[in-house]
Amino acid sequence: MALDRFREWRIDRMTDRIARRPHGKSARTTYGAADVHSFTWEPVLEALALGPADRLLDVGCGGGVFLRHAQAQTGCTVAGVDHSREMVRLARPFAVQGEAEQLPFKDGEFTAVSSIVAFFFFPDALRALREMRRVLAPNGRIAIYTTSPEAKGTMAAPYPLATRGHFYTDEELQHLALEAGFSTARVTRPDESGWAQLLAAQP
C-alpha cells in the first residue's frame, strides 16, 4: 500500500516537473525553445483568424513562445496565463500567474483564446471553458489543441504521464463547449497522426 502511494507520488512529481507545472532547468529549456509545439501553431492560427485589432489570451501558455509567434505573424495584442511561476517568468512580459479555472481577467477582455497542449491537464474542463467564455468579447473565438483518447500510450501521451491526463472524445469536447455557453463548437483532427484534436468554438 505504502509502495503504491510512493509510486503515485513519483508519477505526480514527474508529471508536474515535465509538463503539468513545468519547473527546473530542463523544463525551462523545453518550453523556452523557439519551436516548442510549433506543429500546433498553423491550425490554431487558422481557427482564430487573428488580425492587428485582436486581443489574444493563451491559457497554459508555458514559456510564451506561441504568443510571441502569434504577435509577430498577425500584429495582435497578446497575454498569457499559466500556474507555473517559472513559465510565467519565461513568458515575460506577456504572462501572469493564475489557474485556467479562475482566470485573472475581466469579462470580455479578449477577442480570442488559445490553449495548446495544456487543456489535457485542467482538472475541471467545464469550468475552464466557462472561464474562457467569460473573458471573451461577443465576437470572440477559442481554439484548443489537445490530445485524443486514442493517443494514450503513444508518444503524444506516453505512460505513466497519460494516467494524469483528462481525455475527451470529440463528442464530449463539443458538448463541454456548448454546456460552457458557446453557441457553436466543432472538433477536428488537425494532423495526420489522428491523435490530436482541435476544438474551435464561438460565443
Q: Which residues bind to ligand SAM, rule: CB under 6 A?
A: 19-22, 31, 36-37, 60-62, 65-66, 82-84, 87, 99-100, 116-118, 121-122
- Minimum distance, C-beta of residue 4 to ligand SAM, in the bound complex (Å): 25
DSSP 18: I
**Which residues in 171-185 are b (16+ Cβ under 10 Å) and which e?**
eebbebbeebebeeb
When the beta carbons of 31 and 94 are compared against ligand SAM, the nearer one is 31
| 3-state SS assignment for residue 178 | helix
When the beta carbons of 74 and 171 are compared against ligand SAM, the nearer one is 74
- Minimum distance, C-beta of residue 126 to ligand SAM, in the bound complex (Å): 13
- Minimum distance, C-beta of residue 194 to ligand SAM, in the bound complex (Å): 20
- Minimum distance, C-beta of residue 115 to ligand SAM, in the bound complex (Å): 7
- Minimum distance, C-beta of residue 140 to ligand SAM, in the bound complex (Å): 19
CA nearest neighbour of 102 among 122, 85, 127: 127
When the beta carbons of 66 and 94 are compared against ligand SAM, the nearer one is 66
Residue with cell 473565438: 141
Amino acid letter, 73: Q
Taking residue 68's Cβ as centre, other Cβ atoms within 10 Å add up to 15
- Minimum distance, C-beta of residue 139 to ligand SAM, in the bound complex (Å): 24
Burial of 186 (0-12, 13-18, 19+ CB in 10 A): middle
Range list of H helices, the chain: 2-15, 25-32, 41-48, 65-74, 85-90, 125-134, 170-179
